[in-house]
Amino acid sequence: MRQLALLAAALALPGCGGGDDDTALVVFAASSLSGVADEMDPNAQFVFGGSNDLAAQLRDGAEVGIFLSASAKPLTELRATGLVEAPVVFASNRLVIIVPAKNAADVTHIVDLTKAGVKLVLGAEGVPIGDYARESLELAGLGAALENVVSLEEDVKGVVGKVALGEADAGIVYATDVAAAGDDVLSYPISGHFQPKVWYYAAIVSPGSEPAERYLDTLLGADGEAALRSAGFLPAAS
């Protein structure tokens, strides 16, 4: 139902692309980019969601100017079918552990995610934050933590929401998502040894769209870098 709702919203937006400057640029962006992606073009229309959900909507015919994904996989698949132009990396991120403010389960380290009785929430398999979290656990040799998973979410906002509401004892999210949760969660770092490469990619969907080209230029330029850094994102080379 959530995918259908997002698709309906996207299809209801004014069209984009084709070089037509009289229509608003439509930007599909990963949920973790909400609050910063719109700074590149306040006049554009934005649809935020899980990168996989957004890619599915593109395959279903949603009219979009540019797609900002939290991982390479969705764009690689779209590129293979000719639906997007070559993706470019524009930012990176890091993973952290979040817990409810009271932290009743006393989770402060990635090893604690394997403790008996800990209720862990992750992104679903195939969802960037879910795949990154599993990669981190694998790097740490802590695959046993998956036995504690009580909920699988379709985007990072779902993971944050479950932990903030106390419906789980811990979750793994992007570092940039912690601020939005305010005092409802605490965060703990994950060692660099257990950090996957979290890179964000942009790809133009509508070839010849001047608004999409301008957006990408801004995103990759000094103003875009400053906005991303202010929101907690790291440079693409990190």
Residue 69 contacts residue 55 (beta carbons within 8 Å): yes
Query: CA-CA distance, 227 to 220, in Å (whole number)?
Result: 11
Give the closest residue to 69 by CA, choosing from 164, 224, 178, 204. 204
Three-class HEC string of 118-180 = CCEEEECCCCHHHHHHHHHHHHCCCHHHHHHEEEEECCHHHHHHHHHCCCCCEEEEEHHHHHH
Over residues 153-169, mean pLDDT: 96
Q: Is the pLDDT of residue 52 over 50?
A: yes
- Domains by residue range for the chain, with CATH: 2-92+199-230 (3.40.190.10), 95-194 (3.40.190.10)
Give CA separation, 147 vs 96, 120, 151, 175, 231, in Å. 19, 9, 11, 24, 33
The pLDDT score that the predictor gives to residue 238 is 59
pLDDT tens readout for residues 219-228: 999 999 999 9
Place 179 in a pLDDT band, splitting at 50, 70 and 90.
Answer: confident
Q: Which two tokens stand for residue 116?
A: 């008996």
Residues in the chain: 238
The pLDDT score that the predictor gives to residue 10 is 46
Whole-model pTM? 0.86
pLDDT tens readout for residues 191-202: 999 999 999 999
Q: Which two tokens stand for residue 127?
A: 């969802």
